[in-house]
Structure 1
Amino acid sequence: MVAQQPEVAGAEADARRRTAAAPRGGLRARLGPVGLVLAGGISVQFGGAVAVSVMPRVGALGIVTLRLAFAALVLLAVCRPKLRGHSRADWGTVVAFGVVMAGMNGLFYQSVARIPMGPAVTLEVLGPLALSVIASRRATNLIWAALALCGVFLLGGGGGFSGLDPVGVAYALGAGAMWAAYIVFSARTGRRFPQADGLALAMVVAAVAFLPLGIVESGAKLVEPGTLALGAVVAVMSSVLPYTLELLALRRLPAHTFAILMSLEPAIASVAGFLVLSQALSITEALAISLVIAASMGAVRTQVGPGGAGGARVDAKAAREAADGAPGR
């Protein structure tokens, strides 16, 4: 019995070490997907900042055309979607999805050509926030809606958007409406097409729909080597890389956590705008953005709850894939 005590003590020590290590391992397992989502968000917003810096070369419509075209080519190569075996309703859904995607990108880029990125993304987030409030149908969400409106009021300088270009504001709000529609059509497309086939086909529709606009605005500038290279960078940073990172993260991340992280987009956009474009925010604008972020997070928690359903995960993924909707989304 005495001879066995060292072995027992060793086994107990090993058990204690495993128990102590388990929470740390669990923490790492949780932080890993969070890091992927944050990396995707950073890539999206800094890709958007790069896009804004390219606009003097090729214009807002030109950079959207390049971004959609390169993203479509990459998604087609990776997904290799099947063209046969789909009904007319399937194609109608994917075409509508592509048109909404084109509108979302076009409106957003027109917005950031006129107002700073932080306020633009904040106004755009109101689209998914409104959809979340309406879908939830809970009285609590009226509080989040009021909080968001307070943020919008402050963002406009205390009334009437006197501090921002009203045309840029209108474009940002239109992009937000398109983002909400994007979430709806992304879910419908996901039910009709396997994996990311629907997204790839919709991206092609968006690129083709936008091509005439890009040609009219930019013409031969679209095919200049330097412009093409920058367009490819924007496409990778704003679509390909974020989509890949989020696809990996969503396999292990609860829906409500993902959606809350998505709510941080205005803050990330503000940092990207400051670092890349020297777009500083006033204290009032920073407070306004914080209020909208808080409202978005609150609405997500009210709707999804800590045990978020699988369906909500799809919607959250679609909302953030508007990485094809925020700066370079």
Structure 2
Amino acid sequence: MAMRTRSGGTATAGARTGRWAGVALMLGSGLSNQVGAAVAALAFPVIGPVGVVAVRQWVAAGVLLAAGRPRPWTFTAAQWRPVLGLAVVFAMMNLSLYEAVSRIGLGLAVTLEFLGPLAVALAGSRRRADLVCAVAAAGAVAVLTRPRPATDYLGIGLALLAAACWGCYILLNRTLGARLPGAQGSAAAAAVSGLLYAPVGAVALWLRPPTAPALACALAAGVLASAVPFLADALALRRVPVHFFGIFMSVNPVLAALVGTVVLGQRLDAASWAAIAVVVTANATAVTTAARR
């Protein structure tokens, strides 16, 4: 009995240690993602969001190709369709988000982008708690987008486009997970997206030649916002339940607002902070109820 007790205690301690390691990985992933976006913003004045996104897409393609090792010559038409769809979503999501960041700031852009996962979690639900989440999120968006002298409606629209792309990204990844093993689908989509950005990025960088610091910021953004989160999330999902991972992702708008304040000097008022808190809570609640279902 003593041996079993010790073994059980060791297993419990090991599980607890693994859970804390998973939390640390998720926190590191979120911070890396938002710091990467802030570093990318530092390069906007020189090469613009298009140039930064092109470099980021090329870095992401290299990382995911090495990790996923896809074999596109074996793909069927049914497998290629979601791959191509995800490639287009990749391209639009990152560009619309970075254009929004350049106009309305990191914290507000990322908060509005998180409406995409929230919409997916709430889609088709008839639960009262989910309806409350939807109403609360709508109220928070109304606060964040309320008319002010400096309101940039194009930037808000771009952030909402990024939200729609993120929702499509989730749905397409579900389809790819069912049709292709491992990370082959995501890797192939990243490669196609990188190819789509080859002419666009070349023109953007020719029109706005990069300086060494700007190029370094764009490359760092590719590593911090693509490579590190991809690897950290993969390791975290081995240590924590999927629904817990989804809940913890909701902290990203808060991290974005904090990083935007510290790195870029983008300060938000009290009402905006309160609205961000509401969006985070709505996301966490929606993911929790979806996991229970």
In the superposition, the TM-score normalised over structure 1's length comes to 0.82
Find the partner of 1:263 among 250, 258, 268.
250
Give the structure 2 partner of residue 168 of structure 1: 155
- Conserved? CA contact 1:62–1:222, under 8 Å: no
Q: CA deviation at 1:128?
A: 1.2
Residue identity matched to 2:219: A
Give the structure 2 partner of residue 104 of structure 1: 93
Structure 2: segments with no counterpart, 5+ residues: none
Q: CA deviation at 1:219?
A: 1.5
Establish whether residue 129 from structure 1 lines up as the match of residue 124 from structure 2: no
Query: Matches of residues 108-257 of structure 1 in structure 2 within 5 Å?
Result: 108-156=97-145, 159-160=146-147, 164-219=151-206, 221=208, 225-257=212-244
Give, in whole Å, the separation in 2 of the partners of 1:131 and 1:290.
Answer: 19
Give, in whole Å, the separation in 2 of the partners of 1:287 and 1:278.
Answer: 19
Give the structure 2 partner of residue 29 of structure 1: 18
Give the structure 1 partner of residue 270 of structure 2: 283
Percent identity, please. Answer: 37
1:28-61 per-position Cα deviation (integer Å, ceiling 9, x unaligned)? 2211111111111110000000001111110011
Using a 3 Å threshold, how does the CA distance of structure 1 residues 46 and 195 change in structure 2: closer, same or farther?
same
User: Once structures 1 and 2 are overlaid, which stretch shifts more, 15-24 or 286-295?
Assistant: 15-24
Using a 3 Å threshold, how does the CA distance of structure 1 residues 197 and 224 change in structure 2: closer, same or farther?
farther
Give, in whole Å, the separation in 1 of the partners of 2:105 and 2:87.
Answer: 26
Q: Any idea what SS the aligned residue of 1:194 has?
A: coil
Establish whether residue 75 from structure 1 lines up as the match of residue 64 from structure 2: yes
Establish whether residue 297 from structure 1 lines up as the match of residue 284 from structure 2: yes
1:286-312 per-position Cα deviation (integer Å, ceiling 9, x unaligned)? 10100111111111111112xx8xxxx
Find the partner of 1:55 among 41, 44, 47.
44
Q: CA deviation at 1:208?
A: 2.0
Establish whether residue 66 from structure 1 lines up as the match of residue 74 from structure 2: no
Q: CA deviation at 1:22?
A: 6.2
Q: Any idea what SS the aligned residue of 2:71 has?
A: coil
Q: Any idea what SS the aligned residue of 1:252 has?
A: coil
Give the structure 2 partner of residue 45 of structure 1: 34
Count of residue pairs the alignment pairs up: 293
Give, in whole Å, the separation in 1 of the partners of 2:103 and 2:119.
Answer: 24
Give, in whole Å, the separation in 2 of the partners of 1:246 and 1:39.
Answer: 9
Using a 3 Å threshold, how does the CA distance of structure 1 residues 202 and 15 change in structure 2: closer, same or farther?
closer
Give, in whole Å, the separation in 2 of the partners of 1:39 and 1:148.
Answer: 26
1:131-175 per-position Cα deviation (integer Å, ceiling 9, x unaligned)? 11114442321000111112112212xx44665311100000010
Structure 1: segments with no counterpart, 5+ residues: 1-10, 309-329
Using a 3 Å threshold, how does the CA distance of structure 1 residues 36 and 162 change in structure 2: closer, same or farther?
same
Give, in whole Å, the separation in 2 of the partners of 1:196 and 1:86.
Answer: 13
- Conserved? CA contact 1:37–1:261, under 8 Å: yes
Give, in whole Å, the separation in 2 of the partners of 1:87 and 1:73.
Answer: 23
Give, in whole Å, the separation in 1 of the partners of 2:178 and 2:237.
Answer: 17
1:3-45 per-position Cα deviation (integer Å, ceiling 9, x unaligned)? xxxxxxxx97x98877776655443221111111111111000
- Conserved? CA contact 1:97–1:189, under 8 Å: no
Question: Which one has a bigger Cα radius of gyration?
Answer: 1
In the superposition, the TM-score normalised over structure 2's length comes to 0.92
Please tell me the root mean square deviation across aligned C-alpha atoms, in Å.
Answer: 2.2
Using a 3 Å threshold, how does the CA distance of structure 1 residues 255 and 161 change in structure 2: closer, same or farther?
farther
- Conserved? CA contact 1:46–1:272, under 8 Å: yes
Q: CA deviation at 1:74?
A: 2.4
